[in-house]
Amino acid sequence: MTDWPAPRADRAVHATVEVPGSKSLTNRLLVLAALADAPSRITAPLRARDTDLMAGALRALGVSVEDSGADWVVAPQRLHGATVDTGLAGTVMRFVPPVAALAHGDTVFDGDEYARSRPMHALLDALRLAGVVVDDGGTGRLPFTVRGTGSVPGGVVELDASASSQFVSALLLAGARFDKGVELRHVGKPVPSQPHIEMTVAVLRRAGVEVDDAVHNRWLVAPGTICAVDSVVEPDLSNAAPFLAAALVTAGEVRIPRWPAATTQAGDALRGLVALMGAEVWLTSEALTVRGTGRIGPLVADLHDVGELTPVLAALCALSDGESRLSGIAHLRGHETDRLAALATELTRLGGDVTQTDDGLTIRPAALHGGRWQSYADHRMATAGALLGLAVDGVLVDDIACTGKTLPDFAGRWLRMLDA
Ligand SMILES: O=C(O)C1=C[C@@H](OP(=O)(O)O)[C@@H](O)[C@H](O)C1
Ligand SMILES: C=C(OP(=O)(O)O)C(=O)O
């Protein structure tokens, strides 16, 4: 791995940046298409490590996922046991086990070294309550084996999803194919990332699945057919974060075409968040535009619902002129890395003034200097490092390639934004 010298911006950025498809939508649509009653076409899917791993996992289980130009055509087949590589993808390690439970045969799951530290036990226990045999050697983590019998009883399942909303999404996505459907009841601290659950419910309803989410912390999926539907994937709004933030850092202007007028993506919250930090923001039917005004104000925000935006926002806070307090994000300790520890360590290494709290970060203004920014294989840590490099001489990002988890050719896109 060679260090990547993060380019310094020598002038205001003025660019239009096309952002590829949403990871969260692509991987939900792949799972639903695999469980549907007929083939589906997914147009403009994200092609990145996490979605290639999802396609690979479904293919391993017997599903046909074919390239058709830039689209994917998914044809459901009889599911059989397999070996699944989850990489570091939360969506693969959480969404595929309930699918494997419907397969005929055993499926062995394992992933990157750090994936073995990510929370899984609440989902594995929930699967057991739904009648699935899972062998994890008592660890509650990867690697584990799901012993598929071709059907899942389902029914009432109680789980604690405070560590990840993906536990809920995983069981909802496959739930219609369980004999009794599924009634999920969350017990515990609040579930993070609510928009991601709303996204799951929305894609299920579009596929004709009956979902009742009227009662807080309880979701009911009726047993029935998942209908094949063709879909066009929206741009990944969370992946727009570093580019939009570049407008603030350089007092420039960045435009993201195809920003949806209405969406369940968590990244849509960026519009309000960068406005709170002093940017001018406007949305038309063509694009979202963010203009930096020269001032980056501090951010005091509960990011519980939009935790995946934290690394870039924290980097922006480190460049702001006041004290920022980011809260509601204890669950980030179970993301690609412990993001609270990683951000505190790396910002401090560059001269930042950062304190970890129980559920977030306090970031005070400080003069930053160059240094090596470690990404911990976390795509969003790497893009946060790139953002700091725009304003600080001599920032070296250790592993820019890990951005390929959700965004192909981030480095090329970043340079093109600066050269535009
Ligand atoms: O369902 C999804 O697609 C996601 C849910 C969220 O996970 P958590 O609830 O674990 O934060 C989010 O952070 C992740 O990037 C994607
Ligand atoms: C938390 C994230 O990913 P994952 O889907 O692997 O959980 C993320 O992309 O910020």
Residue 151 annotated as part of some ligand binding site: no
Residue minimizing CA distance to atom 15 of ligand 1: 308
ipTM of the complex: 0.99
pLDDT score, position 205: 98
Give Cα 27 to chain centroid, integer Å.
10
Ligand 2: distance of its center to the CA of 175 in Å?
A: 22
Ligand 1: distance of its center to the CA of 394 in Å?
A: 32
Degrees to nearest 5, angle at CA 176 with 170 and 179:
110
Cis ω on the peptide bond leading into residue 143 (within 30° of 0)? Answer: yes
pLDDT score, position 1: 79
Residue 11 annotated as part of some ligand binding site: no
Quick one: which H or E segment has residue 70? none
Q: Which residues contact 242 (CB under 8 A, 6 or more apart)?
A: 312, 383, 384, 386, 387, 414
Distance CA 131, CA 195 (A): 28
Ligand 2: distance of its center to the CA of 192 in Å?
A: 13
- Ligand closest in space to the Cα of 402: 2
Residue 193 annotated as part of some ligand binding site: yes
pLDDT score, position 116: 98
Residue minimizing CA distance to atom 7 of ligand 2: 90
pLDDT of the chain along its 420 residues, tens only? 799 999 999 999 999 999 999 999 999 999 999 999 999 999 999 999 999 999 999 999 999 999 999 999 999 999 999 999 999 999 999 999 999 999 999 999 999 999 999 999 999 999 999 999 999 999 999 999 999 999 999 999 999 999 999 999 999 999 999 999 999 999 999 999 999 999 999 999 999 999 999 999 999 999 999 999 999 999 999 999 999 999 999 999 999 999 999 999 999 999 999 999 999 999 999 999 999 999 999 999 999 999 999 999 999 999 999 999 999 999 999 999 999 999 999 999 999 999 999 999 999 999 999 999 999 999 999 999 999 999 999 999 999 999 999 999 999 999 999 999
**Ordered domains of the chain (ranges, CATH):** 4-18+234-419 (3.65.10.10), 23-232 (3.65.10.10)
Which two structure tokens, joined as six digits, stand for 83?
């070996």
The reply to whether ligand 2 has any atom less than 6 angstroms from the CB of 335 is yes
Distance CA 341, CA 363 (A): 13
Distance CA 124, CA 118 (A): 13
Please report the atom of ligand 1 found closest to the CA of residue 200.
1
pLDDT score, position 244: 98
Please report the atom of ligand 1 found closest to the CA of residue 166.
1
Ligand 1: distance of its center to the CA of 252 in Å?
A: 30
